[in-house]
Amino acid sequence: MGKADMGESLQNELDAMAREISETYEELTLLYRLSQKFSTLLDMDELLHLVNNEIFEQLNVDKIFLLLIDEESGNLKIASSSLEISGGDISDCAKITTGLAMDATMGLKLILDNKVAKNSPDFIFNKGETGKVICTPLKVKNKPIGTLNIYRESDKDDFTSKDFKLVEAIANQAASSIANCRLYKEMHDMLLGIIKSLISTLEAKTAFGSGHSGRTAIYSKAIADEMGLSNEEKEDLQISAILHDVGKIGLNDSTLESGSDLTTDEMVKLMEHPLKGSSIIKSIKRLGTVTPGIMHHHEFFDGSGYPDGLKGNAIPLQARIIAVANDFEKNAYILNRKGLTNEMAVEKIKGNSGTLYDPDVVRAFLTAHEKNTIPKKGL
Ligand SMILES: [Fe+2]
């Protein structure tokens, strides 16, 4: 080999090495970015949406299906797709058959097929349509939880081994984040279950009977929907509404049972419940963000409420919403027990807009009532 040839071959080797380093760097950057992006998400829908977006951004694909094994039935179900057919059972979905996706899931293997045969039972998205697919297992601790499947039309480029690696990287990150979301949901549901049973024990003794806090939470959420609060804000609001009277724990039965006719001493003790409730809940770290609603749900917009006599927007939004939902629920409950509709309770809220209640909250409440998300007759 002449000097010139040797030089050329060395140059080729260096170029190949530089390409490899650059590809590895790209891969690592992507992995880092994905782990940063996915790991902070605790909401499954948001996460799956992000996975879809990420694939569309990285690869020239036409369709995406993320299938998860249903924990009860053991079947693969569509958790998200670019065709918006989430929730369907894959065995019922005429557009997809289980072949490749099931093989990838159960065999924990990646499948790349650039020539899915016409009329093959495998991964035909539309009748007679063929194309190119990559099926990647989603696994947690080496156990299958589902599969990520991407599809390209037949007239487009073949999937390459680089695409393959990219999808695998996204699938691995997605799988551990899906496991995180599920764990978070489990813990969240457990916490909510404990809170609800605690509150129902307390409510069984009160003049307004059981279910008051649950209904207050439903009405609060309906108002928050109209006001465009974020999912996170709505979640805190609902927990806060469920817990708003938790500070009544420890009050004697006669105070709890009597809706009115309290002695001065009983009234003083009753009015301590927002403060007591928020100090109970403040000690639970996860619930720190729900205390404003508990502490201030008896404040009034004009400053005539308690415990701090806060005025206007100085009252936390959580508390301004719960104040409306709480008072409406109590009045509606009394009316409903007499067989009447909620109309008078609605008028009371309307009539106190700007004095007792935040006008923006009242407006949202009236819209929700109009739409029947706050029912015209009791829940
Ligand atoms: Fe209260």
Structure tokens at 67: 């299938």
CA–centroid distance, 1 to ligand 1, in Å, is 91
Please state the rounded mean pLDDT for residues 53-77: 83
CA–centroid distance, 67 to ligand 1, in Å, is 45
CA–centroid distance, 246 to ligand 1, in Å, is 8
CA–centroid distance, 89 to ligand 1, in Å, is 45
3-state secondary structure of 79: strand
CA–centroid distance, 314 to ligand 1, in Å, is 19
Q: Would you call 216 exposed, middle or buried from its count of C-beta atoms within 10 A (0-12, 13-18, 19+)?
A: buried
For residue range 155-205, what is the model confidence (pLDDT) as tens digits? 888 888 888 888 888 898 899 999 999 898 888 888 888 888 888 877 877
CA–centroid distance, 252 to ligand 1, in Å, is 15
Which of 17-31, 71-85, 294-308, 333-347 ranks highest by mean pLDDT?
A: 294-308
Share the mean pLDDT of the chain: 82
CA–centroid distance, 230 to ligand 1, in Å, is 25
If pLDDT is split at 50, 70 and 90, which confidence band does 314 have? very high
Contacts of 259 (CB under 8 A, 6+ apart): 207, 208
- Whether omega for the bond prior to residue 144 falls within 30 degrees of 0, making it cis, is no
CA–centroid distance, 187 to ligand 1, in Å, is 27
Q: Which domains occur in the chain, in start order?
A: 17-182 (3.30.450.40), 204-370 (1.10.3210.10)
CB count within 10 Å of CB 105 equals: 25
CA–centroid distance, 185 to ligand 1, in Å, is 28
CA–centroid distance, 140 to ligand 1, in Å, is 45
CA–centroid distance, 293 to ligand 1, in Å, is 10
CA–centroid distance, 290 to ligand 1, in Å, is 14
CA–centroid distance, 322 to ligand 1, in Å, is 9
CA–centroid distance, 294 to ligand 1, in Å, is 8
For residue range 71-102, what is the model confidence (pLDDT) as tens digits? 888 777 878 777 654 444 444 343 444 566 76
Strands, E assignment, the chain: 63-69, 76-81, 111-113, 131-140, 143-153
Contacts of 336 (CB under 8 A, 6+ apart): 342, 377, 378
> Distance from CA of residue 155 to its chain's centroid?
38
CA–centroid distance, 319 to ligand 1, in Å, is 11
- Give the pLDDT confidence score for residue 84 in this predicted structure: 52
Compute the C-alpha angle 189/195/200, nearest 5°: 125
CA–centroid distance, 335 to ligand 1, in Å, is 19
Compute the C-alpha angle 270/257/340, nearest 5°: 110
- Give the pLDDT confidence score for residue 317 in this predicted structure: 98
CA–centroid distance, 341 to ligand 1, in Å, is 23
Position with higher pLDDT, 265 vs 96: 265
CA–centroid distance, 274 to ligand 1, in Å, is 7
CA–centroid distance, 289 to ligand 1, in Å, is 18
CA–centroid distance, 273 to ligand 1, in Å, is 7
CA–centroid distance, 166 to ligand 1, in Å, is 54
DSSP string, 116-171: PPTT-SSS-SSTT--EEEEEEEEEETTEEEEEEEEEEETTSPPP-HHHHHHHHHHH
Compute the C-alpha angle 65/75/116, nearest 5°: 45
CA–centroid distance, 272 to ligand 1, in Å, is 9
CA–centroid distance, 245 to ligand 1, in Å, is 5
3-state secondary structure of 81: strand
